[in-house]
Amino acid sequence: EPEVTQTPSHQVTQMGQEVILHCVPISNHLYFYWYRQILGQKVEFLVSFYNNEISEKSEIFDDQFSVERPDGSNFTLKIRSTKLEDSAMYFCASSEDSLGQGYTFGSGTRLTVV
Amino acid sequence: ILNVEQSPQSLHVQEGDSTNFTCSFPSSNFYALHWYRWETAKSPEALFVMTLNGDEKKKGRISATLNTKEGYSYLYIKGSQPEDSATYLCAFFWGGSQGNLIFGKGTKLSVKP
């Protein structure tokens, strides 16, 4: 069964450093998403991406965050200058269309900012 | 503000018990409700995508119902097994979104042998 692949599974970084989280969505999917879950809290939407541009973003997704699809397969989330409160589980997801067909999540990257 | 509530937050049952939990969501501008099963260190696994009022879906011992008019969905597990232990998430997909889901906090189910 097709999978969404995320790397690394764990990332520890120092406060103020830049991190890039990597995702390989399902190959025929057109919509890509990032979500995060801070420990003990809800899974929260960060951003959706379609046709090489952001289609929607939440208020969490401020200027410190950016996304990119550098080639035909990868979808990255960059945090420019990490803060302690960025520590969370970050999930990538993809879907066939904006109506949610085939919505599939990756297994997540646990980011710890120290 | 769109909010999705799940109850209870956690549930402890014995093997063989049947159980159910609730997801409440906004009843306006509804498009779909997703249920996921999430085990630690794994991807959330899609269980059901429900779109029509009155929908009932079943997958093995797990089933779900949907009431879009009053804004709730129930997930039922018949004859719980230890391998059913997981967090069950519901997520609301509304008509004004670009595909993003609004999640509840989940119900953590523990099934004791």
Q: What is the pLDDT of residues B60-85, one digit of tens each?
A: 999 999 999 999 999 999 999 999 99
Provide, as residue numbers in chain A, all residues whose Cβ is less than 8 Å from the Cβ of B94: none
3-state DSSP assignment of residue B26: coil
> For chain B, what is the mean pLDDT?
92
In the DSSP assignment, the letter for residue B21 is E
Instruction: Supply the pLDDT for residue B90.
Output: 95
Question: What's the whole-number mean pLDDT along residues A90-105?
Answer: 87
Contact between A44 and A62 under an 8 Å Cβ cutoff? The reply is no
Instruction: Supply the pLDDT for residue A70.
Output: 86
Give me A101's structure tokens: 């067909």
Question: What's the whole-number mean pLDDT along residues A48-52?
Answer: 91
Provide, as residue numbers in chain B, all residues whose Cβ is less than 8 Å from the Cβ of A48: 97-100
pLDDT tens by residue, B39-50: 877 889 999 999
- Examine residue A8 and say whether the peptide bond preceding it is cis (omega within 30 degrees of 0): yes
In the DSSP assignment, the letter for residue A86 is G
Instruction: Supply the pLDDT for residue A99.
Output: 73
β-pairing, B107-112 vs B10-14, is parallel
Instruction: Supply the pLDDT for residue B14.
Output: 97
How far apart CA A65 and CA A58 sit, in angstroms, is 11
Phi, psi dihedrals of residue A86, rounded to the nearest 5°: -80, -10
Give yes or no for A10 touching B (CB within 8 A): no
Tracing tokens 């009431």 back to the chain, one arrives at B67
Phi, psi dihedrals of residue A77, rounded to the nearest 5°: -115, 125
pLDDT band, residue A32 (cuts 50/70/90)? very high
Provide, as residue numbers in chain B, all residues whose Cβ is less than 8 Å from the Cβ of A9: 41
Instruction: Supply the pLDDT for residue A84.
Output: 97
Of A4, A97, A100, the CB nearest to B32: A100
Cβ <8 Å between A55 and B98: yes
Three-class secondary structure assignment of B74-91 = EEEECCCCHHHCEEEEEE
3-state DSSP assignment of residue B72: strand
* C-alpha atoms less than 13 angstroms from C-alpha of B106 in its C-beta half-sphere: 21
Count of C-beta atoms within a 10 Å radius of residue A102: 16
